[in-house]
Structure 1
Amino acid sequence: MGSISIREHIRWGSDPSSEPTSTLVLTSPGRRFVDVRVLRRVSSPSTSSRQAPTGSQHPSHENFGILPGDQLDWAFAGTSSSGTVTRPDGNQGSHSVFLHWVDNRSREPENVRDEGDMFPQRNGVTLETGRMVNPATGVETDYEELWRDEEPESTSVGGVACVVFQIQDDSSGKRGQFVRLGRYAQGVLRSGDTFTAERWTWDQGQFKWRRLAKVGDGEAPSLGHLLVEHDSPYKVGEQVETPSGIWTTIEVSG
């Protein structure tokens, strides 16, 4: 079925918990994911393209528009896997490992270490704990993240619940992954030194996809061309030609 995960907070060490980003993770039934974390703070109030989000703090209401790359906290895509873990107190959870295939912070994403222990909480959220480098200090630090999952909802368009696209041309340094799951879609694309991340949501009232954020190269072709509906059903292995390149459909679920 896939999962839609919204982060509620992050805490480093003994620091107070906070949520400086709008973080949304889309994971397909085949465990392919796109994780996009857009900074909520305003870098330059005088620049209209860096306006703060409007509406509630739910990702579907945060309209960031087009933002420069320094407003992207972290964006990456790849695959994930999970196994059972038990705390000393007997509380059971899962240990998740996230293998990065494209990452805005690294030109060698396969070397990024990203894993954590997930423990369900009584109020329906999930507490993730682990240890990784704090980007603010450059020091490996204990962390916790609180996640809330939403059930994917159908758009009633195209008869598909989830579709995943991928693009790869290592000779030109191009890699990208795009996940459409329910009423959300996110994609990341690296092309050499250029990195772009986008987030979209389905607008039921307008009956169309609406872009919530484009972070990185504002002049880069939109990834939204992957959301254009076509008459025939999506098929694994099918290629989709867009201004950003030729993408391959690698997963489809109804």
Structure 2
Amino acid sequence: MHSVSTRVSLAWDEEPPFEDSEVLVIVGKKYYVDIRLKRVPENDYVIDWAMAGVKEWLHTEADPPKARFTPILTTRSELQNADEGTFSTLDNGDILETGEMLDPNTGRVRRYSEIWRDLPINKGSVFILEGIGTSDAPTIQRAWLAKMGNYQAAVAKISEDKFLAWTAEKVAGRPGWDVTKFAGPVDAATIVLPIEDPSPLWGVGTLFEANGITWLVKEAFMT
């Protein structure tokens, strides 16, 4: 099931829930882009964790919904392994995800609980793209971009230890996309830009160039 969601809270083991990041996750039928940014002074952001990868459902019809998330691109080298989460719907409609994963703050595998809230999305095209090269400097090593409804999100690896990540929204009555949150080197702000809907929509496997980047279409469908 495809969705755009934000995280309400995170809890480790039996500790109190908290939220210290601004999170936007776009999940397609197979791939996802997950952006988690922390606000720092002067309204800037830094990357807490940004990733893109594959989501696989593991449960049968009789089991609680369970999925495996396998990152293809991640900003945290210590969090490269797949993790699995089990999902349930709370009374208010939010989604509770529970499982085990490495806590990067302690270096230990711990139980986690995350509460997610789906965001309303406009009907239209959905696409998830993998950036596989650039024609102009500065270059990227890898990039992923997802668009669903009135939201876009992207993460890119610029060099071995440099990344950028952003989220963007389409505001009714205004042309183009507003990048609402950006984290990364200042001189990298224009390397990866939001992409407008094509007409007609690309097919999976299509290669095209936009803003100096060659993109491979991983998913594309209409809602």
Q: What's the TM-score, normalizing by structure 2?
A: 0.85
Matched, 1:192 2:159: yes
Matched, 1:165 2:140: no
Deviations 1:61-116 (A, max 9, x none): xxx5xx3xxx2111000110113279xxx9x521110011000012x97x413211
Query: Contact 1:85 / 1:117 at 8 angstroms: preserved in 2?
Result: no
Taking only aligned residues, the RMSD between alpha carbons, in angstroms, comes to: 2.5
Deviations 1:23-60 (A, max 9, x none): 111011x22110001113x3xx3xx3xx2xxxxxxxxx
Matched, 1:245 2:209: no
Write 1 or 2 for the structure with the bigger share of helix: 1
Q: What's the counterpart of residue 195 of structure 2?
A: 227
Q: Distance in 2 between matches of 1:84 and 1:99?
A: 16
What's the % identity of the aligned pairs? 27
Q: What's the counterpart of residue 132 of structure 1?
A: 101
Q: What's the counterpart of residue 35 of structure 1?
A: 34
Q: Distance in 1 between matches of 2:51 and 2:113?
A: 19
Query: Contact 2:3 / 2:118 at 8 angstroms: preserved in 1?
Result: yes
Matched, 1:83 2:51: no
Q: What's the TM-score, normalizing by structure 1?
A: 0.76
Structure 2, gaps ≥5 residues long: 134-138
Query: Contact 1:5 / 1:24 at 8 angstroms: preserved in 2?
Result: yes
Query: Contact 1:93 / 1:120 at 8 angstroms: preserved in 2?
Result: no
Q: What's the counterpart of residue 10 of structure 2?
A: 10
Q: What's the counterpart of residue 143 of structure 2?
A: 176
Shift of 1:238: 3.2
Deviations 1:107-162 (A, max 9, x none): x97x41321111112221111111111122112111100111134213xxxxx420
Q: What's the counterpart of residue 136 of structure 2?
A: none
- The letter of the residue matching 1:234 is L
3-state secondary structure, aligned to 1:123: coil
- The letter of the residue matching 1:198 is W
Q: Distance in 2 between matches of 1:120 and 1:139?
A: 28
Q: Distance in 2 between matches of 1:105 and 1:124?
A: 31
Query: Contact 2:9 / 2:115 at 8 angstroms: preserved in 1?
Result: yes
Shift of 1:229: 4.9
Query: Contact 1:240 / 1:247 at 8 angstroms: preserved in 2?
Result: yes
Shift of 1:191: 3.0
Query: Contact 1:198 / 1:223 at 8 angstroms: preserved in 2?
Result: no
